[in-house]
Amino acid sequence: MTGTLFVIGTGPGNPDQMTPEALSAVSQATEFFGYGPYLNRLTLRDDQRRQASENREELDRAGAALRAAASGAIVCVVSGGDPGVFAMAAAVCEAIDSGPVEWRDIDLVVLPGITAMLAVAARTGAPLGHDFCAISLSDNLKPWNIIEKRLEGAASAGFVIALYNPISKARPWQLGKAFEVLRAHLPHATPVIFGRAAGRPDERITVQPLAQADAAIADMATCVIIGSAETRVVVRGEKGDLVYTPRFMSGGNR
C-alpha cells in the first residue's frame, strides 16, 4: 500500500499568501520534509513529524519523502514560494524518474503557490504585465556561459526578466555581471526592482534604473525584476511609484 506525497509552497512567507489547498495538505499530512526555515512557517500538531535538511539537499530530501510515502504515509514536501518554480517539485520528479519503479505508483499531488516574482510584482504595480521569463543566476546546476546567453536572448527579445538566486556568499559576483550583460541590450533607464522578503515584516522594495542598479542591495532572499524597453514608471510622490509593462508593444494591435 502506498501513501500520498503532497508537494506544496508556503508562498513568499506571509501566512496570508499560503493557499487554502496547501493548508489542507498540511492538515492531512503526518510526515514533513523541507528546508528548516520553510518548515518553521508551518504550525504543526504533536502527531505531525518534521524532518528538516539543508537547502542544497533537494534530491536526498525528495528520496526520503518518497520512501516515507511508499511505506503508506501521507507526506508533505515543503518549499517556499511555488514548489514548481526553482523548487522541490522538480527534485521529486527527478527522484521518481531515476528511483525504484514502485515510486511511480505513489499518489503525487503538486499544489501551486505564490512565487517570489509574483509577490514582488504585486508590490510595485504590474511589471509582468506583458511577456516575461524567469532565470536563476545560480551556476550550481548549469554553467555560467549558458546563463549569460539566456540573459542576452531574453533582453534582446523584449522579455521582462525575473532573476532568482541572484547572489550568495559563495556567488558574490553574478548579479553585477548580469547587469553588465543586460546594459548592452537594454536602455539604461530600464527599471530594476529589488524585492526582498515581499509581504513579510522585513520587506524591502527598491527600484533603480539599470545604469545605477547596485548588486550589493540583493541577497538570497531577494527577487530581482528587470523591465523591458517598454516598461514604464509612473511617479506618484508619497503614494510610491508604479512600475508596469504595458499590455501592448509598439507596432502591435490593441
Sequential DSSP letters for 110-165:
E-----HHHHHHHHHEETTSS-EEEEE---SSS-HHHHHHHHHHHHHTT-EEEEES
d(CA 178, CA 203): 24
Average pLDDT score over residue span 145-152: 98
Q: For position 48, what pLDDT does the model report?
A: 98
Q: For position 222, what pLDDT does the model report?
A: 95
Average pLDDT score over residue span 5-9: 98
pLDDT tens digits for range 92-138: 999 999 999 999 999 999 999 999 999 999 999 999 999 999 999 99
Band (230; pLDDT cuts 50, 70, 90): very high
- Yes or no: say if 230 and 246 are a contact pair by the CB < 8 Å rule: yes
pLDDT above 60 (res 254): no
Query: Among residues of the chain, what percentage have pLDDT more than 90?
Result: 88
Residue 127: all three cell numbers together: 511589471
pLDDT above 80 (res 154): yes
Taking the alpha carbons at both ends of the chain, their separation in whole angstroms is 55
How many C-beta atoms surround the C-beta of residue 39 within 10 A?
A: 18
Band (52; pLDDT cuts 50, 70, 90): very high
DSSP strand pairing (4-9 vs 107-110): parallel
Residue 75: all three cell numbers together: 507526506
Q: For position 20, what pLDDT does the model report?
A: 97
Say if 4-110 and 116-244 have the same CATH topology: no
**For the chain, what are the domain ranges?**
4-110, 116-244
4-110: CATH architecture: 3-Layer(aba) Sandwich (3.40)
- Yes or no: say if 233 and 242 are a contact pair by the CB < 8 Å rule: yes
Band (240; pLDDT cuts 50, 70, 90): confident
Tell me phi and psi for residue 31, to 5 degrees: -125, 130
- Location of C-alpha cell 494591435: 253
116-244: CATH architecture: 2-Layer Sandwich (3.30)
pLDDT tens digits for range 58-104: 999 999 999 999 999 999 999 999 999 999 999 999 999 999 999 99
